[in-house]
Amino acid sequence: MMAGAAEDMRALFGAGVRAALEAWPALQIAVENGFGGVHSQKKAEWLGGAVEDYFIANADLELEEVEDFLGELMTTEFDTVVEDGSLPQVSQQLQTMYHHFQKGDGAALQEMTSEINQKKCKVTATPFKTAKETDVDEDDVDSVEEMEVKEVTATNDEATTDGVSPQPQPTDPDSQTIKEEDIVEDGWTIVRRKK
């Protein structure tokens, strides 16, 4: 009985982790735009398991450690620097879930997971075409390309993901460095490829 209960808790925790990651706009955008290459969707699924295992293997994680781990995975696997302020939020969600898991509070875990799934439907990663057609005129596109950063804004109030900056696929992955640019404005979500 006890072994079964523990396995059930682990399954609930795993489901919660995956729900939180799937509802994370930064990851959604990275997957939808293939920032992780042809296997972006598979990488996203693998990410859920990696995060779950990370918590199980490290009983007392600080929030900063969770943020670093997630941020590093996004950089390594999806070539994406998350600068929209969402890392602490997602990390906090995951940490709360893990505390419920440690306490054996399956009801709280299920409640959190279903809340995230309900909210997830409202998260829309704006497709580039639509955003370009509605928000960016010809002149903007030229100036934006010169800066090598495309900033896409969504007019839709429901879109929580407001700015996305993809970069061309780098030719040599080993020589990539993260170029710091102050392109984060208040309220914008910016997901940026490394150059």
Angle between helices 106-120 and 2-22 (to 10 degrees): 20
Query: What is the distance between the alpha carbons of residues 81 and 125, in angstroms, rounded to a whole number?
Result: 17
177-186 pLDDT, tens digit each: 444 444 444 5
74-111 pLDDT, tens digit each: 999 999 999 999 999 999 999 999 999 999 999 999 99
Tokens standing for 31? 């997957």
The beta strand positions in 2-51, using DSSP E, are: none
120-148 pLDDT, tens digit each: 765 455 544 433 344 444 444 444 444 44
